[in-house]
Chains A and B, each alone.
Chain A
């Protein structure tokens, strides 16, 4: 699989992705071979179904949401390798030597933004009570009553909402997560 993957990926493409995302050469070829193995249609792009077919995702309550976020950038229903890598680049660990690099692809803000979009279905840059409730319902399963969920949602909004519009903006969201070690929690070690 590995040799086939590197054959299909041209050197300048790799360099381009390397420049844009910061992944190493080996990481790119490895992820490309994963990409092609997911690409059942063999057309160089992934559809929603391609991703949702991953068996482990089926037991993940938020699996579908995450898949959906891969399709935000491109308007169409396909995601090509570049877009795929751009999304994954957010989860690269933050290099301690480049901490001042505030707008890097894997910066704290970029990571938080991804988490924010997990809630913000209608993309109006606000988390409404309904959007919050939907996510909560997916995560907690059946043991908690609708009433309890409602009060959790209300308390969360009350806590984070500083301008009193009953919704959480991205600024309010990242303020509420200020003390959390997002850089660390939202990073994956990509194998070389």
Chain B
């Protein structure tokens, strides 16, 4: 027996470690690529990182494809994406959300996210269906209305990953950033509902749908959205409460933050609620309380680990996106691709214009024309649409391949053309940039003074605006919630 172990020391067994090894190599490759991009200053100044990563993925994919290694390619599976790659990004987004800007503009963000996405979905799918009736979609011309609607729902959602990747580099002002970014996060609830709803309708069959199904669909929208928020808040409160008692075991403080935000995401997904909403609101809820409870070192650890994890996720997603493009699973349909792209741009533009016109009547700081253009232009599509379209069941969707190709084209168009041109455009149009400076002592104190003062003015005029609500919330928070959680 002893001799056997001695021989085994020198054994080579790749199969044993294959999967984790591949994953580790992927992460290393993606991260080294990232370093490479920033070494060449000229390229990384013009082209956003996400584009370069997609291109790198494409190259790797092409090599594997040409060398007939296709069965060894780990394409971006929906499970990998939704369970492992997406959560770190949304958790980070929620935790580092500029709360104040977010809640000050929540009404506008929700309008764009809910009504805007609904409008895009209906507009794109109806138009596509109309074109199909006219026979402009070629081989896909016998597509049913329901299948159009499903496709519309997955293609019209603005993607948080792509938006983050591009807007982080552009540094537009806070209002513009939070509007586009908040919309991309909150529209997840709409996308989830519409996708599941139309998928289920499609299985029930167009002729068997009765009014109650439609009503149930509308009701489920509120359940999915608000349920996600509720789960997020519950987990956020639990985390805050637990971190109260970690005084003596500081090393596990970051762990609670990570695990509970991940759990909130998974729990929401378990009930088919919006995982993105859950994770975002978990982060928003816990942040202030957790930071009051944990040590400075833990805080730094949380900050860096979160940023690192989400960065790696983002990198891997974009490389995967490129890699997964190269396969034989395509059906090029010129009419379908071009019309989809056209409708995506058209309805996004119209939607923003009309909604902003309505919103500006009620807003104190108006969105300017330039703002609207950047918001319409910032409607990037990404890996969420990509994963959802791959999830489609080919038995129910004979047009799946054409849909995949069209989705990929829309993603590439938005990530490449819009992603690369947005920075020069922002410069050209003189979009107000974010002025990052550390607020001085006077500014910090006056900020609070002004908040209370404006709340008092609102009380006196008897108008319950957002100063009033913020003051109320702060009062409750300071007098009741903080006593329990901090």
Enumerate chain A interface residues (CB-CB to B < 8 A).
Answer: 31, 34, 37-38, 51, 54, 56-57, 59-63, 65-67, 70, 88, 91, 93, 96, 114-115, 118, 135-136, 139, 141, 152, 155-156, 159-160, 168, 173, 176-177, 179-180, 182, 184-191
Contacts and interface: CB of A to CB of B under 8 A. Distances in A.
Contacts of B208: none
A65 to B, nearest CB: 8
B461 interface: yes
Interface of B: 362-366, 435, 437, 439-443, 445-450, 452-463, 465, 467-468, 471-472, 475, 478
B460 A62 contact: no
Contacts of B450: 115, 182, 185-186
Contacts of A186: 450, 453-454
A191 B362 CA distance: 9
A37 B435 CA distance: 44
A48 to B, nearest CB: 12
Nearest to B440: A159
B459 A56 contact: yes
Given A60-B471, A177-B443, A135 B456 contact: no
B442 A177 contact: yes
Given A156-B442, A188-B465, A188-B467, A60 B449 contact: no
B59 to A, nearest CB: 46
Given A56-B455, A66-B457, A179-B435, 5 more contacts: A51-B460, A88-B457, A156-B441, A186-B453, A188-B458
Interface of A is mostly: helix
Contacts of B435: 179
Contacts of B457: 66, 88, 91, 188
Contacts of A135: 445, 449
Nearest to B366: A96
Q: Is the interface of B mostly helix, strand, loop or mixed?
A: helix
B449 A57 contact: no
A182 B452 CA distance: 14
A177 B459 CA distance: 25
B443 A179 contact: yes
Contact of B442 (A65, A70, A160, A184): A160
Contacts of A67: 456, 460
A70 B456 CA distance: 12
8 contacts: A51-B460, A59-B475, A139-B449, A179-B443, A184-B364, A187-B364, A188-B463, A189-B463
B126 to A, nearest CB: 36
A155 B442 CA distance: 9
A21 to B, nearest CB: 13
